Amino acid sequence: MSVTFKSLETILDQYPPNPEHLISALQDVQAKFSYIPKEAMTAVCDHLGVPVSRGWAVATFYKAFSLEPKGEHEISVCLGTACHVRGARNVYEKFRRDLAIPGEEGTTKDLKFTLRQVRCLGCCSMAPVAQIDEEVHGGLSQRKAGTLLKQFRKR
């Protein structure tokens, strides 16, 4: 999605020009574009009256913000404690191998998938858990992870 003036305006309109709304406004930007585009950051900061440097300080501090565009499907693998003791690390590595992500987290070359780690999705009873887009998948194994990827590749 391109950063149009219009789509930003609808976000900014909801907030009175007050620094206290910085995080909320950035959350809306993140939800809309799935990352924080530079132009959007400048617009948000101008509107709320905070220096852009403060905007970036906030955006880099909180995990919820991404500074790069994301893939079509977002896979968040839980590496929380409950998932960890049930073998989440091996499941994560399986995703990483199959998607050929070079770093710890990242996006595939074809922009089809973004793989990221999260700490607890609040579904610990189904550990190990991963969330793909809006769906939560529990009781994962390496094999199940492989099957899921195949399904999503076709979507």
Partner 1 sequence: MQIKTLEDMQTAKKLGLAQLYPDKPKILVGMATCGLAAGAQKVFDLFQRKAQHEHWDGVVEKTGCIGFCYKEPLVDFILPDKPRLTYEQVTPDVAEELWSEISAGKIPEKHFLARLDIDDPILDGGPRKLYKGKLKGFLAKAPRYEDLDFFKLQRHLAMRNCGFVDPDNILHYIARGGYFALYKALTEMAPEEVIEAVTVAGLRGRGGGGFPTGVKWASCRKAQGWPKYVLCNADEGDPGAYMDRSLIEGDPHAILEGMLIGAYAIGSSEGYVYVRAEYPLAVKTLQRSILAAREAGLLGENIFGTGFSFDIKLNLGGGAFVCGESTALMASIEGKPGEPRAKYVHTVDKGLWNRPSNLNNVETWANVPLIIAKGADWYRDIGTEGSKGTKIFSLVGQVKNVGLVEVPMGISIKDMVNLIGGGVPETKEFKAIQIGGPSGGCIPRELWDLPIDFDSLWDAGAIMGSGGMIVMDDSTCMVDVAKFFLDFLIDESCGKCIPCRLGLKRMREILEEFSTGKGTVADLDELQSLAEAVKDGSLCALGGSAPNPVLSTLRYFREEYEAHVLRRKCPAAVCKELITYSINQELCNGCTACVQECPQGAITGEKKKPHQLNAALCIKCGACHEVCKFKAVEVF
80 is a site residue for ligand FES (CB under 6 A):
yes
Stretch of 39-47, 67-75, 106-114, 123-131 lying at the interface with partner 1 (CB under 8 A): 123-131
**In whole angstroms, how close is the CB of 7 to partner 1 at the nearest point?**
20
21 is a site residue for partner 1 (CB under 8 A):
yes
Q: What is the DSSP string of the chain?
A: ----HHHHHHHHTTS-S-GGGHHHHHHHHHHHHSS--HHHHHHHHHHHT--HHHHHHHHHHSTT--SS---SEEEEEE-SHHHHTTTHHHHHHHHHHHHT-SSSSEE-TTSSEEEEEES--S-GGG-S-EEETTEEE-S--HHHHHHHHHHHHH-
Stretch of 1-9, 16-24, 35-43, 108-116 lying at the interface with partner 1 (CB under 8 A): 16-24
Binder of residue 116, out of ligand FES, partner 1, none (CB less than 5 to 8 A by kind) = none
**In whole angstroms, how close is the CB of 140 to ligand FES at the nearest point?**
10
- Considering only residues 93 to 152 of the shown chain, the ones binding ligand FES according to CB under 6 A are 120-124, 127, 129
Binder among 22, 36, 40, 83 for ligand FES (CB under 6 A)? 83
